[in-house]
């Protein structure tokens, strides 16, 4: 945990998607200091007309390489979040040739009671985690 949801426009090949996910996981490990096996990622591919990602008045245009990362996390420090933003965009640009203007990131924060990993139990609340 955290759960990383990746929304992108359909058309990337399997290896490119795998590389994006691998980069995101390495950033999660570094920024949030979670165990290596804590990997939860979901990719959703969309038709171009299904993803409208404007510039919020910042004066730039995005390409069809646009990606939205939604990280569902328990509370993290602002430093951890800033590190995540920076590291993810830097590494996607370096390793995947995805420009930082095409990367949007948002965090959804919840608590320990909002997670059940199996058997209908909240492992953080039961002490299993």
> What percentage of the chain carries pLDDT values higher than 90?
77
Q: Which of 2, 65, 67, 70 is catalytic?
A: 2
pTM (2 decimals)?
Answer: 0.92
Catalytic-residue membership of 2? yes
Question: Has residue 48 got a pLDDT over 80?
Answer: yes
Q: Scan for tokens 């990746």, then name that residue.
A: 6
Who has greater pLDDT, 22 or 120?
A: 22
Beta bridge partners of 5: 42, 70
Read off the DSSP letter of residue 7.
Answer: E
2-29 tens-digit pLDDT: 999 999 999 999 999 999 999 999 999 9
Q: State residue 113's pLDDT score.
A: 87
Q: State residue 1's pLDDT score.
A: 77
What is the pairing mode between strands 103-109 and 67-73?
parallel
Rounded CA-CA distance 81/27 in Å is 11
Beta bridge partners of 70: 5, 106
Who has greater pLDDT, 94 or 122?
A: 94
Who has greater pLDDT, 100 or 54?
A: 100
Sign for the CA dihedral angle at 82, 105, 75, 121 comes to negative
Question: Has residue 37 got a pLDDT over 90?
Answer: yes
């Amino acid at each position: 945990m955290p759960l990383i949801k990746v929304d992108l426009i359909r058309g990337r090949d399997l290896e490119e998607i795998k590389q994006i996910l691998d980069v995101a996981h390495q950033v999660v490990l570094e920024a949030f200091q979670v165990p290596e096996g804590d990997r939860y990622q979901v990719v959703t591919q969309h038709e171009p007309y299904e993803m409208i990602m404007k510039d919020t008045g910042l004066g730039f245009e995005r390409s069809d390489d646009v990606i939205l990362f939604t990280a569902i996390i328990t509370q993290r420090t602002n430093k951890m979040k800033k590190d995540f933003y920076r590291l993810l965009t830097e590494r996607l640009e370096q390793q995947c040739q995805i420009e930082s203007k095409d990367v949007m990131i948002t965090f959804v924060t919840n608590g320990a009671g909002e997670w059940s990993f199996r058997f209908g139990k909240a492992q953080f609340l039961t002490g299993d985690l």
